[in-house]
Amino acid sequence: GYSTSPGLVVAVTDMKMMRFDQSSGVLAAQGGIQNQDLRALLPQGGEGRWVFSGGTCPTVGAAGLTLGGGFGPISRWAGLTFDQLLESTIVTADGEVVVASASSPPDLFWAIRGSAGRNFGIHASFKYQLAARPDDRSTVFGLEFWNREKCAAAAKVILRGMRAAPPTSSVLMLATTWTDGVGCVMWGQHFGSDP
């Protein structure tokens, strides 16, 4: 609900069709799809050769995820969600249906890829080119620290380590505050067998 406002809100939550082409890695999804739906469509357990560069929140919609950037655990090497965007079908305020892509109209396609994207109309569907897995082997980890000093120390160690890490390693750190202090959560993924 972070994208809602006191203005007109058009719910597309019932638009949930999606299609994935295993041979090309192209994923087509309607605007009501959530991040968790996109991930569930892909093979689980390390199977398959494509990965979706989605965000961290499972219930965020495809529009908010894509048009807001879409930063996630593998963004370091696979790019943001909007980097995987090939096209979006948009219904403009005057009812015109426009398919925005890099070739037509390129200015609109550029404009929707980032935080202002939801201002140009209703995004009925998206088409993505997923990233090829860099290796069949992967390791995933998560760490939590629940005080300011431990968060700061962990961030320094992780940042120092990431300078020497291969491009297929990534870490996403989210810090949060509450009435009792500061905490942080780190998720990471490494593709390959290098320890």
Least confident of 18-27, 113-122, 166-175: 113-122
66-97 pLDDT per residue, tens:
888 888 888 888 999 999 999 999 998 899 99
pLDDT at 45 over 70: no
46-66 pLDDT per residue, tens:
567 888 888 878 888 888 888
Tally Cβ neighbours within 10 Å of residue 168: 18
Q: Which are the contacts of 160, defined by CB distance < 8 A and separation ≥ 6?
A: none
pTM: 0.85
**Predicted pLDDT of residue 19:** 92
Measure the CA–CA gap between 36 and 48, rounded to whole angstroms: 17
Measure the CA–CA gap between 79 and 71, rounded to whole angstroms: 8
Q: Which among 130, 131, 85 has a CA at the least distance from the CA of 108?
A: 85
